[in-house]
Amino acid sequence: MTDSPLRHDWSLEEIQRLLDQPFNDLLFQAQSAHRAHFDPNAVQASSLISIKTGACSEDCGYCSQSSKYSTELEPEKLLPVKDVVKAANIAKEKGASRFCMGAAWRNPTDKNLDQVIEMVGAVHDLGMETCLTLGMLTDEQAARLKVAGLDYYNHNLDTSPEFYGEVVTTRTYQDRLDTLARIRKQQINICSGGILGLGESRRDRASMLQQLANLPQHPQSVPINMLVQIEGTPLFGADDLDPFEFVRTVAAARLIMPHSHVRLSAGRSNMSDELQALCFLAGANSIFYGERLLTTDNTEADEDRQLFKRLGIRFAETTVNS
């Protein structure tokens, strides 16, 4: 099948119209686009570990790792490489093809990066794809990660430019775009998406998707997170998002970024099997797999395997190093 050219000129009104469609029409279009580019019954699995937890100087209103909020999270120093390798081995045995390592930093120091680069090499030696989320990077640090063989770098936009100031004040939206540009310059695959349920409007969700789709290159991976409410953070007690709004956003992401992996990320432990199945129908084809994300619970691996069996879904092969 001949691919149509990928677009990077989506207007806000176009994406809003996609989201405003009757639900069945939107899902039909999204599933059709999904089948044109992917096996509809294969889902890529990534596992995520916190390699340095808490004591972050940022004030992201959803995050338990911020030093500005009183949560029950206990800060932890950077993990030893052997502990990371052990966790990666367990993830691989359970079916994960990519191992993501996250550190609660505004930006890493060069000394921190030395240790993290050692982790990247060790995980690569296991035959797994590697992903990092370390905060903002300099040009030199991005270049070092390229030399180290990093496959993916995660840096989410979180929400729309218009709503962003309601969620984060210690880092600008442009800071996030600049980090993505540094990663893209090094030709490292980009993982970037957002969080739903922050109190944003449907138009904000359309605006966030517009920012992602109109980047010079679509992110290879687009995580769509549902807010996990953490007591002690400003967003604890926020109104729950209508589940159908979540599915609509997944479907719109699939339509405007048809070659990207769209990942169900944080919040799956609070989703019903039926909601997750709708998301897969809408074009989601990646999950975080394992009992923990960075600091929040995730769906049990056995539950995922049981759900996949019921739906006739299988784990996809690796997407970068195959």
Q: What is the sign, positive or negative, of the torsion defined by CA atoms of 49, 52, 55, 61?
A: negative
What is the CA 91 to chain-centroid distance, rounded? Answer: 17
SS3 224: strand
Residue 89 buriedness (CB in 10 A; 0-12 / 13-18 / 19+)? middle
> Helix H segments across the chain?
12-20, 23-37, 81-93, 110-124, 139-148, 173-185, 202-213, 243-256, 273-281, 301-311
> Helix H segments across 138-272?
139-148, 173-185, 202-213, 243-256
Q: What is the sign, positive or negative, of the torsion defined by CA atoms of 186, 191, 193, 198?
A: negative
Start-to-end CA distance of the chain, whole Å, equals 22
Beta carbons of 268 and 276 less than 8 angstroms apart: yes
For residue 143, give Cα distances in angstroms to 14, 104, 146, 177, 199. 36, 21, 5, 17, 37
Enumerate the active-site residues. Answer: 56, 60, 63, 100, 131, 191, 263
Token pair for 178: 């600049």
Token pair for 60: 């992201």
